[in-house]
Structure 1
Amino acid sequence: MSRAAVLWSDAMNDPLDDNERAVRTLQRAPLDEQRLRSLRTLTHLLYALYALLWFTGGVSALIAVIVNYIKRDDVAHTPYAAHFAWQIRTFWWGLVWGGVGFATMVIMIGFAIWFAAGVWVLYRIIKGWLYLNDNKPLPVRQRAAV
């Protein structure tokens, strides 16, 4: 059986979460350095797009989340998979809480919700970017297997 088939078989039968699986995969079979460098650069670019969301009216964040979904399979089983999941969750939860804040602006509590959502999104962008700078995967909770 080829080395790739063995790695695929191990990955499919491995009960570990994506972060642990990524670390083990990196230990067993070194990935192409150019590919990892490219994915790291892309992840930095996506954090920059998310950080620009306040200056672009959210358009840059929309572009970033679309790229996250398109490239998600490319980062699977790498240290950047957790960053992509983190970015996607930040976008959707930020959108939900931003929408709740906007909808409740009439009763004035919306401004506080909107502000809190903005601070939370900024915190997640900064935390994720710092983890990426330190070349660490984020501790993202995994969804239960169905």
Structure 2
Amino acid sequence: MIEVSPPDNGNGLSMRTVTHVMYGLFALGLISAGFLGLATVAAVVLAYLKRADAAGTVYAAHMDWVLRTFWWGLLWLVLSLIATLFYLGWPALLVLGVWLVYRVIRGWLGLFAGELPTPDL
């Protein structure tokens, strides 16, 4: 069973706030088109650091969602950049950008609704 909201003991930020910050950092990295790539890396580090604290809650699923988005996006970014050497990677980079934006919006909307991020098709 997944708990929607873990009890807040008043020490520091709530897990919901941490998850919103994580999505915000990831989105900042995407909006800046890589110029603020450290924001995306910070979101990933935050997700790894707080994943154990969020275990058994809906927030753990959101952290896994962001981590899967990052690692799959990084893989496809590398493959697309290699393919640009043969002029085939530009459409793949465009599709990757749309997919990344979709994943961040979909996950963040799920967080606002207090739900799990929905799986991809």
Structure 2: give runs of 5+ residues left out of the alignment: none
> Computing the radius of gyration over CA atoms, which structure comes out larger, 1 or 2?
1
Equivalence map 1:4-23=2 (5 Å)? 21-23=1-3
2:24 counterpart (29, 48, 51): 48
1:98 aligned partner: 77
**Partner Cα distance (2:116, 2:9) in 1:** 19
> TM-score, normalising length from structure 1?
0.71
Shift of 1:138: 2.0
User: Which of the pair is proportionally richer in helix?
Assistant: 1
Structure 1: give runs of 5+ residues left out of the alignment: 1-20, 142-146
**What are the Cα deviations for residues 119-142 of structure 1, in whole angstroms up to 9, with x where unaligned?**
10100000000000111122459x
Q: Calculate percent identity across the aligned residue pairs.
A: 37
- C-alpha RMSD of matched pairs (Å): 2.0
Shift of 1:108: 1.1
Aligned residues: 115
**What are the Cα deviations for residues 48-89 of structure 1, in whole angstroms up to 9, with x where unaligned?**
111111313422111111111111100001111110010000
